[in-house]
Chain A
Amino acid sequence: MSKKTFPVVVALLLLSVLLAACGGSQASPAPAAGGQAEAPAAEAKPVTLRLLVHQNPPMVEYMQAFNEKFQAAHPNIKVDMAVVNASDLATATQTRLTANDVDLVDVFGFSNAVQPYMKNVDKPNWQQLIEAGLLADLSGQSFVGNYAPASNQDAGTYDGKIYQVNLGRVVYSGIYYNKSLFQANNVAAPTTWSELVAACETFKAADIPCMTAGGKDGWPIFVGAYGLIGSIYPDQAGLVEGLWTGNIKWNDAKSLEMWQKMKVYTQNMMEPEASGIAGDAAPGRFASGAVAMFAGGSWYASAIEAANPELDWGYMPFPGSDNAADNKYLFGKYDQGWAVAANSANKDAAMTYLSEFSDPANYQAFVNAVGFIPTQSSATLDTLIGKEVAPYLENFRVGYEQYWIAPKGAGEFANPWASYFKPFGTYDDATELANKVQADLQAGLDAAK
């Protein structure tokens, strides 16, 4: 090669490498011989079924076992399951659905729908996904019929079509309590606010931390206190409408009582170190037997049992009121569900997977492992947490945060969160905080006018 032609060849080679690199990636496998790009029979050709789920140790453990079983029954289907933190699920769902490199996604029950009285708000992300045509319509699939019509309607339906089969409800406005410590200190499970205050004083006098939670993550603190909001405002959808229309204010007399109790909850009941405990470490702290109570959701039960199978514990609604009848509710939400990517090339395999997952025997095993309150009518929650919450399920209510959407322009304190109080936040005075929360909300409401 001459000296003159060498640079030309090098330049052309570099250019061709660059153009090759910039070429579109082959997202889906090349069509099989004969030009059949989409073979309808999932069983016929090798398929890699890509799943995206959020981190929940007992659920992931169950899924791994189920996937093994499923692959053995369908040798042509390989399940590739990715696990991400719950807080990253929305991001991963968005990017992977957009890139069309996922077939089945774990989505939380549809919530926070825009109501007619709301102005200047954004649609929730599940609605954005549906409207972008990224979730498949599951209406008419036989496995959908295995789930209770009410759960399909409440947690998976949009615009008359079903986009999700929801796998279970959870409750989060309750408190785990250590029965042995209660017995040893002659304390009965409290059914009213005053009894709860007295119980904490007894434990503190005995040098036993009264209550713990995963305060480092912020939300576990206020989730536990939803019982306080619920005992005052049992109609949570009505509370959201009242806040939007101005009939309810976070600094009115009724709400002020809630803030005062939240201050007691965060500063007198909760152990100060709770602010440094991560959400997934809190069950271990309670399971150690060192703390009398743990404010948290039903999903923590299996982690507590795994950490200390010998621990004798119970679960009760957070008694936010001095009238025991006001404390009969358990608030919660529809948790994990399955949705199929609308543009998936492996839709048949995805439907086969969901069909087998939804088989009543498999679903029962899932519920037993994860501890969800079932959404299939034939399933029962035979675990300890199931027994503990069973008496309150007729008073199950979907919680406030499942309805709430903040107006644009609202400040960062426009929420009824106990974690705004010291030591988790910066506020010490209930009235000052109540006024700040209402002012932050009002700023958004005024901007929406």
Chain B
Amino acid sequence: MNYHFGRGFSRWIPYLLLLPGILLYFVIALGPSIATSIYSFTDATGLKGAPVNWVGLDNYREFLLLGQAAKNNLAVLGRTLIFSVLVSSIQFVLGLLFALVLNQRLWGRNVVRTLVFMPVILGAVIQGLIWSLFLYPLGGPAAKLLELVGLKSQFLGGSPMEAFLWVVVVQIWANLGVTMIIFLAGLQTIPSEYYEAASIDGASGWQAFKNVTWPLLTPSVNTNILLNVIGSLQAWQLFLVLIGYRAGTQVLGYLIYATGFGAAGSLTQSFRQGYAAAASIVLFILVLIIGMTIQTYLRRREERIMA
């Protein structure tokens, strides 16, 4: 066999080259994840010098079983799933529509592409500030628009459900550009000959989409579904910036932040990183189960279509 790196010591060169990357992965990604799972069995505060005691499953028991707080936590889990379903599905459909339209030879399409993608480059604080100003109920642009049709709303300060739905809107706005770009990249890999052939066969626009575009977009569809689902399950920054702590609005990511760092909204105002780590592991398991299930389904679907 013609082995590129030669024989003897040289055979180890690929592994040596891989070592820095593997070490970085362990230090930056895997290490903290393992540490989090260990911390979840302790009463760690995250403070240097503070004692760390092994508490077994107490944090999990408290999170999932103790009193009304556990029921609230389960409601938070449910809300996190609802948020994920809403964001993932709407962002997916809108991203696909924008990509289909902006893949046509239209005047000003590059400007529109830029506008749709622009929120992606802004941080969560800037995104939150823009929408807080837009939704200001006393003379803000959105309030003025509603006034024109005789309506009023408190927007982010309205009922918890209304505030929650506004975060869904902002989350979609903030990430729509990524979904659109992935679809656009996928659309541009489809050879135009397929559409010409479909056209010669008398296919309608819908038939061309159904039988050419949609199957050949499968890799982009899979990527977008996974990214949208995982990203929305982990969301928390926009909840912090747009709403802060309000009963009936939190998702699991925000709850973890508030608990771990004694932030406003945490009922105890204490540093509870052990407990927050347990909540993080619950979130991780949720993401893992959902992510793996979707990935398995999508991989089979892709194999079936591509075959």
A residues with a Cβ closer than 8 A to B are 4, 7-8, 10-12, 14-15, 17-18, 22, 86-88, 90-91, 94, 97-98, 100, 112, 121-125, 128-129, 131-134, 215-219, 272-278, 285, 405-406, 408-414, 419-420, 422-426, 439-440, 443-444, 446-447
Contact = CB atoms under 8 A, between A and B. Distances in A.
A409 B67 contact: yes
- Main SS class of interface, B: loop
A216 B307 CA distance: 54
Nearest to B17: A11
B89 interface: no
B237 to A, nearest CB: 12
Given A18-B23, A409-B66, A444-B68, A91 B261 contact: yes
Interface stretch (B177-185, B200-208, B210-218, B262-270): B262-270
B71 to A, nearest CB: 7
Contacts of A15: 16, 19-20
A115 to B, nearest CB: 15
Contacts of A88: 263
A122 B68 contact: no
30 contacts: A7-B10, A18-B19, A18-B24, A91-B261, A91-B262, A94-B262, A123-B270, A124-B269, A128-B45, A128-B270, A134-B47, A215-B157, A216-B132, A216-B157, A217-B244, A274-B157, A277-B136, A405-B268, A408-B67, A409-B69, A410-B69, A411-B68, A412-B69, A412-B248, A412-B267, A425-B247, A439-B68, A443-B67, A444-B68, A444-B69
Interface in B127-164: 132, 135-138, 152, 154-160
Contact of B13 (A11, A87, A131): A11
A426 B248 CA distance: 9
Nearest to B266: A90
A278 B132 contact: yes
A404 B131 CA distance: 34
Contacts of A422: 159
B157 A424 contact: yes
Nearest to B136: A276
A285 B157 contact: no
A87 B263 contact: yes
A379 to B, nearest CB: 29
Given A11-B17, A88-B263, A425 B160 contact: yes
A383 B16 CA distance: 70
B282 to A, nearest CB: 17
B272 A218 contact: no
Contact of A98 (B47, B136, B270, B272): B47
Nearest to B250: A412
7 tightest A-B contacts by CB?
A409-B67, A411-B68, A275-B157, A276-B137, A276-B157, A443-B68, A11-B16
A219 B57 CA distance: 34
B268 A273 contact: no
B255 to A, nearest CB: 10
Contacts of B29: none
B186 interface: no
A133 B70 contact: no
Contacts of B245: 218
Given A125-B269, A412-B247, A446-B67, A134 B48 contact: yes
Given A276-B137, A425-B248, A409 B70 contact: yes
A447 to B, nearest CB: 4
Contacts of A134: 47-49
Given A217-B244, A412-B247, A14 B160 contact: no
B48 A98 contact: yes
B138 A277 contact: yes
A15 B16 CA distance: 8
B295 interface: no
A8 B49 contact: no
B62 interface: yes
A134 B49 CA distance: 8
A218 to B, nearest CB: 5
B46 interface: yes
Contacts of A17: 20
B60 interface: no
Given A4-B6, A275-B137, A405-B268, 4 more contacts: A125-B271, A276-B135, A406-B267, A443-B67
B209 to A, nearest CB: 42
B290 to A, nearest CB: 25
Contacts of A91: 261-263
A408 B17 contact: no
Contact of B271 (A22, A128, A133): A128
Contacts of B72: 411-412
Interface string B77-113: 0000000000000000000000000000000000000
Contacts of B269: 90, 112, 124-125
A122 B247 contact: no
A446 B69 CA distance: 12
Contacts of B71: 411
B47 A94 contact: yes
A368 B248 CA distance: 40
B62 A409 contact: yes
A122 B46 CA distance: 14
Given A11-B13, A112-B269, A219 B159 contact: no
B247 A408 contact: no
A384 B48 CA distance: 44
Contacts of B10: 4, 7-8
A15 B72 CA distance: 48
A86 B245 CA distance: 14
Given A273-B137, A408-B69, A412-B267, A423 B261 contact: no
